[in-house]
Structure formats: structure tokens, C-alpha cells
């Protein structure tokens, strides 16, 4: 199974400074994100979201707020014709030393354990941070960096449509 591993905030959904997440209740999809995700699905990719949510462990939002937001995001994406296979998140503080906080590879490894049919050589990762890029490199994934100086730079998720056609 080939997978498009996608970062959430700044890639699919608008990102905010940490303290502002306290007041965020509804997703705000970035322009072209749902269309790009539908296109990836049409190419045979399954969508898995990989997201650091240290704002839970650092007290900016509760686990219940995260879960509510995620349900709303998945519902909105589904209404746009996007089926997300799964979401993996790290709720720990950045200084916790956990294995799942990007740039560590724990969330990708967890996805591969849950879905052993994932073929990393046919999959890729798209995100907007150096931690995303470092994690993708550690896992041997092709990486598309949103507004990042990298081998495969893109301005937004929607640019994948041209690159992968």
C-alpha cells in the first residue's frame, strides 16, 4: 500500500501560534488541500495524517479539545470527498524525550506496525517544518517541503498535483 503521509497544521489546515490554539474550535482547510488529497487518492495513495500536538502536553489545549477538532477536521475532509485512513499524533511535551515527537520516527513506525502492508518506498511525506523533513529522511521517505529549502520544495499541497501527474 502506498501512503501519502501528511502533516496537519500548516499543510492541510491553517496553523496558529501555540497560545492561539486554545480558542480554535473549527478547522480552516488551506486552499487546495482537499482537492490535492482527493487527487492523491485517485492515484492510489492512502492518506495518513502525522501531527505533533505537543500543545496538549504543554497545557495549551486539552486532549478533549484535540479530539473534537480532529473529528471536525475529518468530517470536513470527508464532506470534501477525502477519506483519511488514520491520524497519528504525539501529545507529549517537546522536552519529554518521547519517540513519537517529530523529528523522531515513532509515528511513522506506529503506522507501519498498524498497517504492515505500507510500502515506504512507494510512499511520501509532505509537511511544512524542518522536523517533518528530518523525520521523512530518517524513514527513507521522499519529502515534499512546503516553503522549505529542500530537494522537493512546494508552495502548498496543491502543487503535488502537477508534480505527481
Q: Which residues are catalytic?
A: 7, 9
User: CB of 51 within 8 A of CB of 87?
Assistant: yes
Residue 5 burial (CB count, 10 A): 27
Residue 128 burial (CB count, 10 A): 23
C-alpha cell of 11?
499543510
Q: With the C-alpha atoms ordered 49, 2, 33, 127, is the resulting torsion angle positive or negative?
A: positive
Measured in whole angstroms, the distance separating CA 113 from the mean position of its chain's CA atoms is 18
- For 161, half-sphere exposure in the C-beta direction (CA atoms, 13 angstrom radius) is 13
Amino acid at each position: 500500500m502506498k501512503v501519502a503521509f501528511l502533516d496537519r497544521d500548516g499543510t492541510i489546515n491553517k496553523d496558529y501560534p501555540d497560545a492561539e490554539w486554545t480558542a480554535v474550535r473549527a478547522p480552516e482547510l488551506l486552499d487546495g488541500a482537499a482537492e490535492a488529497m482527493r487527487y492523491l487518492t485517485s492515484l492510489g495513495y492512502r492518506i495518513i495524517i502525522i501531527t505533533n500536538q505537543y500543545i496538549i502536553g504543554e497545557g495549551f489545549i486539552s486532549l478533549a479539545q484535540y479530539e473534537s477538532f480532529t473529528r471536525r477536521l475529518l468530517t470536513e475532509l470527508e464532506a470534501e470527498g477525502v477519506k483519511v485512513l488514520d491520524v497519528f499524533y504525539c501529545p507529549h511535551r517537546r522536552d519529554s524525550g518521547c519517540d513519537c515527537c517529530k523529528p523522531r520516527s515513532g509515528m511513522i513506525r506506529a503506522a507501519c506496525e498498524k498497517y504492515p502492508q505500507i510500502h515506504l518506498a512507494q510512499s511520501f511525506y509532505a509537511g511544512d517544518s524542518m522536523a517533518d523533513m528530518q523525520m521523512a529522511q530518517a524513514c527513507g521517505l521522499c519529502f515534499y517541503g512546503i516553503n522549505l529549502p529542500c530537494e522537493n520544495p512546494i508552495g502548498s499541497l496543491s502543487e503535488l498535483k502537477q508534480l505527481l501527474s
